[in-house]
Structure 1
Amino acid sequence: MSLSMTGYGQSVIDFQGYSVSFEVKSVNHRYCEVVFRMPREWTCFEDSFRRAVQSRIGRGRVDVFINREHSGDNADAVLNHARVKAYLQAAEELKAYGIEGSLTAKDILSLPDILVSPRGSLPMDDNGQEAWEKALLGGLNEALDGLLQMRSREGAFLAADIEHRLERIEALHREMTELAPTVPEEYRKRLRQRIEALDDGSLAVDEHIFGMEVALFAERSNVDEELTRLRSHLEQSRKLLHHEGPVGRKLDFLIQEMNREVNTIGSKANHLTLVNRVVEMKAELEKIREQAANVE
């Protein structure tokens, strides 16, 4: 089933005195690009987080936001004296730039990492890091579940719209297949009518040359190969929409190929109705291209 590259998921976990929230957003991108925004001491887990995301998402730009707050029951939170001193020193240094003012207790308490909890701080021993990594990966995967559900719903809508437009192109293809063989005969009739209209009795029409002219036109305007390839591309596009895994690049390639075949038909077919069908087909292909740009 086709997946959209647009999605959103979130989750919250409580672990060792902290409430950790996860937000995962994804948008269109040519490759799989993952960007993390999280507390600095958790950057040691970035590689495992990245592998977790890339194992479940094949394509798109994915932004992962991880934030932490002390849980409401974290009564043993104490001041981070080193951080308080650093903020106060920074405020004092700002005065050298002409910035006046002082920090109140309320201001200081609202700053990041002012309150810490002995049981809530990230342990630096191997066992503690392993416990945090496992807990954080669980929260990340829960957020990814929500993201993939939205991508699946969006992908179903995209696939339905693309299939509808493929049906329209197939209907146009059938019309073009029926019209193509009649083009040389219509040209022969028009050419005969023109010669007869110009003939004042002094023209000697060589039927052999006349037949060669019609045959050359039939060869130049023959679009059987293009129509055959176009039908094959349409069938492959339908199969891709129901294929598991990333299909966006393959679908984009097939759309380019279909556009190429349609352009060739338009340049070769010296027939008004065929040219009109080509214009309609190109319009539908452009709409499919816009939708396929969001397929994983």
Structure 2
Amino acid sequence: MSLSMTGYGQSAVDLQGYNISFEVKSVNHRYCEIAIRMPREWACFEDSLRKAVQSRIGRGRIDVYINKENNGESTSAVLNHAMVQAYLQAAEDLKSYGIKGDLAVRDILSLPDVLVSPSGFSMDEAQQKIWNDALLQGLEQALDGLLQMRSREGAFLARDIEQRLGRLELLHQEMTELAPEVPNEYRKRLRQRIESLDDGSLAVDEHIFGLEVALFAERSNVEEELIRLRSHFEQCRGLLHQEGPVGRKLDFLIQEMNREVNTIGSKANHLTLVNRVVEMKAELEKIREQAANVE
């Protein structure tokens, strides 16, 4: 079943006195691009978290936000001396610009990464596994919610595209019925034109007349384009019910359908047929807009 590239999921887990919240958002993107934002001391877990996202999402721009808050059960925190020194040095450097004022203890403690979990600095292998498993659990739960939303949106997109494909198939049927009449109507118009110009001095060569009609019929023949269009419709319907990313294949098929329709429009010398081409191009543009959000 087709999936949308737009979705949102969230979750939370508690671990060692901290409440860890997860948010995952995804939007349209040509490829699979993942951005993870989380406390700096968890950088060692980024690779496993990234792989978890890649294992479940094939395409889109995915933003992962992981935050932690002390839930009141944590009894200790470590002062990040390197970060404190960096902030104090930055404050001292600002004084050279004529900026006055001093940092109070409250100011320093409110700055990012000044107080961190003790485990953020020294984790043994067992502790790392506990935190890694907890982060993966929370991320998987958030991804569940995101994928549910992508699935619902994908089903809506698939229904809409299928309805528009049905409209295209009706137009295709009308064009298939009109196409054989184009040479016949041209022959009638050409005959009428010749007769309107004939003042009795013209000797119409029926052989040349027939060749002209045959050449026009060959130039305006759109049977091959109509056959390929029907094949593209069937492939498009099949893709909408396939598992996995199909957005790029849909985009390619839509381009091919547009190419065939343009060719029919350039060949057709028939007002009604050209009108059907215009209607078909309008429906294809709507399908292209919807398919742009399919994974």
TM-score range relative to shorter protein: over 0.9
Matched to 2:215, the amino acid is L
Question: 1 CA distance for matches of 2:180 and 2:260?
Answer: 17
Question: 1 CA distance for matches of 2:203 and 2:265?
Answer: 35
The root-mean-square deviation of aligned C-alpha atoms, in Å, is 1.6
Cα contact 2:36–2:63 (8 A) shared by 1:
yes
CA deviation digits over 1:202-229, x for unaligned, max 9? 1111111111111111111110010000
Cα contact 1:17–1:117 (8 A) shared by 2:
no
Give matches, 1:24-43, under 5 Å.
24-43=24-43
Question: 2 CA distance for matches of 1:81 and 1:260?
Answer: 62
Matched to 1:43, the amino acid is A
Corresponding residue for residue 143 of structure 1? 142
**2:167 aligned with 1:183:** no
- Secondary structure of 2:180's partner? helix
Residue 272 of structure 1: CA displacement?
0.5
Corresponding residue for residue 193 of structure 2? 194
Cα contact 2:59–2:245 (8 A) shared by 1:
yes
Matched to 1:285, the amino acid is L
Question: 1 CA distance for matches of 2:90 and 2:202?
Answer: 102
Cα contact 1:77–1:116 (8 A) shared by 2:
no
Corresponding residue for residue 216 of structure 1? 215
Question: 2 CA distance for matches of 1:286 and 1:271?
Answer: 23
**2:109 aligned with 1:109:** yes
With 163-172 and 103-112 compared, the bigger mean Cα shift is at 103-112
Residue 234 of structure 1: CA displacement?
0.5
- Secondary structure of 1:11's partner? strand
Question: 2 CA distance for matches of 1:84 and 1:77?
Answer: 18
Corresponding residue for residue 65 of structure 1? 65
Number of positions where the alignment pairs a residue of Structure 1 with one of Structure 2:
294
Question: 2 CA distance for matches of 1:224 and 1:105?
Answer: 81
Question: 1 CA distance for matches of 2:237 and 2:71?
Answer: 51
Corresponding residue for residue 6 of structure 1? 6
Question: 2 CA distance for matches of 1:26 and 1:132?
Answer: 25
Residue 106 of structure 1: CA displacement?
3.3
Residue 73 of structure 1: CA displacement?
2.4
Question: 2 CA distance for matches of 1:181 and 1:22?
Answer: 62
Cα contact 2:42–2:120 (8 A) shared by 1:
no
**Structure 2 stretches lacking a partner, 5+ long:** none
Corresponding residue for residue 155 of structure 1? 154
Residue 142 of structure 1: CA displacement?
0.7
> Percent identity among equivalent residues?
78
Question: 1 CA distance for matches of 2:279 and 2:44?
Answer: 55
Corresponding residue for residue 46 of structure 1? 46
**2:237 aligned with 1:238:** yes
Cα contact 1:22–1:143 (8 A) shared by 2:
yes
**2:94 aligned with 1:94:** yes
